[in-house]
Amino acid sequence: MKLISTGSALCVVGVVLGSAVGWRAEAAAIQGTSLTSRTPRRGGNPEAAKLQNPVAGTPESIAGGQRTYKLLCARCHGIEGRGDGGGAGAGGQPADFTDAVWDFGGSDGEIFMAIHDGTSADMESYAERLSQTEIWHLVNYLRTLHKR
Ligand code: HEC
């Protein structure tokens, strides 16, 4: 009796873990990045949230982020960050950075990881196109678009 209930409890844990890992493995495969504990997750990822932003949100940092944003991001997310750039060819809805919602978590670390790893066929990984410092500048810039 005891053995059976332990077995079924283990089984439930296995199914829950299995589906969580499966979902993340699938997301990483779409993005072409390797699966880590910080892989972006819809609803947020506490491990990614632990990453500290090493770049202060100075006017210089924000201006640098804005330059990169105009070059690489505005075509989908829109010049004002409203998600209305129209460039998402794979059918995704680019995030609106002016609303209060962060689908992949609103901490600096989670926003960093969404840009670094990517989240979908449209929202690709920028790990090979941008340095980590450039991504932190983007995080600092995106924060200025966000309504308080
Ligand atoms: C080809 C279109 C496209 C480009 C270019 C693009 N994105 Fe995205 N982005 C999207 C889409 C679509 C989503 C929503 C993805 C999802 O739901 O999985 C998204 C989501 C995001 C998110 C997650 C937002 C949230 O609510 O948690 C961030 C952060 C982000 N993009 C930042 C950027 C930055 C910074 C750049 C430029 C370096 C960029 N994106 C370039 C299409 C794009």
pLDDT of the chain, 148 residues: tens digit per residue: 455 554 454 444 444 444 445 455 555 655 667 889 999 999 999 999 999 999 999 999 999 999 999 999 999 999 999 999 999 999 999 999 999 899 999 999 999 999 999 999 999 999 999 999 999 999 999 999 986 5
Q: Which domain holds residue 5?
A: 1-31
Q: What angle do CA 52, 108, 87 make, to 5 degrees?
A: 140
What pTM, to 2 d.p., does this model score? Answer: 0.85
Quick one: 4 and 70 in the same domain?
no
Q: CA 66: distance to chain centroid?
A: 18
Give yes or no: residues 26 and 51 share one domain. Answer: no
- Count of domains observed in the chain: 2
Does residue 62 share a domain with residue 6?
Answer: no
Q: What is the pLDDT of residue 42?
A: 96
Same domain, yes or no, for 88 and 21?
A: no
Q: Quick one: 90 and 128 in the same domain?
A: yes
Rounded to 10 degrees, the C-alpha dihedral 42/45/48/50 comes to: 140
**Does one domain contain both 60 and 113?**
yes
User: 56 C-alpha to center of ligand 1: Å?
Assistant: 22
Question: 120 CA to middle of ligand 1, Å?
Answer: 8
